[in-house]
């Protein structure tokens, strides 16, 4: 039991979830090419989820529609938007307090499930949350049922597991996005908002390795790519040994490579050579 003067439990950016018709194709990339270690997975109503963890503790979750007659939310998402980033999950110490804070700030949950002791969750809508589904989760220690598929995951082709450095998210309204990710979800600004080549940007961090860069593009290719959307995950950045040897990696500048989303189930990757 916490004492009255105990430090408050912080919010954590736990993982980014990627949706695909076939999750195992993503496992070949995020396990095989990038060396993520199995972190758990199972079938749930409407979908399968499986996770891999990287050297700094950050997690990528693979989602695949399954038993959609029980819940078709993921099937509808893929049919509408295609394969790609689906949500960001933030672990919170008190799910009810987090839901109340989100609602008060103008981000009311659109669905929730508080029925289980070991996992309570609520979802915020992407139209309100600057183009990305946000999952709030209160988690207790729980041994997830082991999914047999993890025994046949592709072997790692890395010398050592990659580090997931940051998620880069484009937004149409940076100040509004800061209300959500900084004020409600507890991200700490590592820099002041800066005006750069790509537009206005800021980097937020959470305890552990969670790191999110927000960019409001002003013109050029990024602005065209965002279009009239409220926001859109632009890329996930990793660092690893021999980054240039990863399948589909194209050199964009010294020691930095990029994998086009058309070659990676809707997700752009930026890979830097580990120092």
Q: How many CB atoms lie within 10 A of CB 40?
A: 18
**Residue (of 152, 223, 212, 215) closest to 182 by Cα position:** 212
The predicted structure's pLDDT at residue 1: 41
Residues 6+ apart with CB under 8 A from 173: 130, 216, 230
Residues 6+ apart with CB under 8 A from 250: 257, 258, 259, 260
Is residue 97 predicted with pLDDT exceeding 90? Answer: yes
By mean pLDDT, which of 2-6, 89-93, 210-214, 253-257 is the weakest? Answer: 2-6
By mean pLDDT, which of 22-26, 199-203, 212-216 is the weakest? Answer: 22-26
How much is the mean pLDDT over the chain? 92
d(CA 78, CA 58): 24
**N- to C-terminal Cα separation, the chain:** 42
The predicted structure's pLDDT at residue 2: 45
List, as one string, the DSSP characters of 183-209: IIT-PEESS--EE-SSEEEEEEE-STT
Task: Copy the structure tokens of residue 141.
Answer: 């220690």
d(CA 18, CA 129): 17
**Whole-Å CA distances, 71 to 24, 64, 76, 91, 120:** 21, 12, 10, 23, 17
The predicted structure's pLDDT at residue 152: 76
Task: Copy the structure tokens of residue 92.
Answer: 């919170």
The predicted structure's pLDDT at residue 108: 96
Q: Please report the domains of the chain, with CATH numbers, ordered by start residue.
A: 12-152 (3.10.180.10), 163-273 (3.10.180.10)
- Do residues 171 and 177 make contact, with C-beta atoms less than 8 angstroms apart? yes
């Amino acid at each position: 039991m916490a004492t009255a003067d105990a430090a408050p439990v912080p919010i954590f950016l736990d993982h980014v979830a990627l949706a695909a018709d076939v999750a195992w194709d993503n496992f070949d990339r995020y396990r095989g090419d990038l060396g993520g270690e199995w972190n758990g997975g199972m079938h749930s109503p409407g979908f399968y989820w499986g996770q891999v963890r990287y050297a700094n503790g950050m997690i990528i979750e693979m989602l695949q529609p399954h038993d959609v007659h029980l819940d078709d939310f993921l099937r509808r998402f893929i049919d509408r938007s295609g394969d790609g980033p689906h949500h960001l999950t933030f672990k919170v110490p008190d799910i009810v307090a987090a839901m109340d804070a989100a609602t008060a700030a103008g981000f009311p949950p659109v669905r929730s499930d508080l029925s289980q002791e070991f996992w309570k969750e609520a979802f915020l809508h992407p139209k309100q949350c600057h183009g990305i589904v946000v999952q709030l989760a209160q988690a207790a220690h729980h041994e997830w049922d082991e999914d047999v598929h993890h025994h046949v995951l592709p072997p790692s082709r890395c010398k050592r597991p990659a580090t997931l450095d940051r998620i880069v998210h484009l937004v149409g309204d940076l100040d509004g996005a800061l209300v959500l990710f900084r004020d409600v979800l507890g991200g700490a600004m590592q820099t002041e908002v800066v005006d750069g080549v790509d537009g206005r940007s800021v980097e937020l961090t959470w305890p552990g390795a969670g790191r999110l860069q927000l960019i409001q593009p002003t013109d050029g290719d990024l602005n065209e790519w965002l279009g009239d959307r409220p926001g859109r995950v632009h890329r996930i950045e990793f660092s690893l040994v021999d980054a240039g040897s990863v399948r589909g990696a194209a050199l964009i500048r010294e020691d930095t490579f990029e994998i086009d989303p058309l070659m990676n189930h809707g997700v752009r990757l930026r890979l830097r050579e580990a120092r």
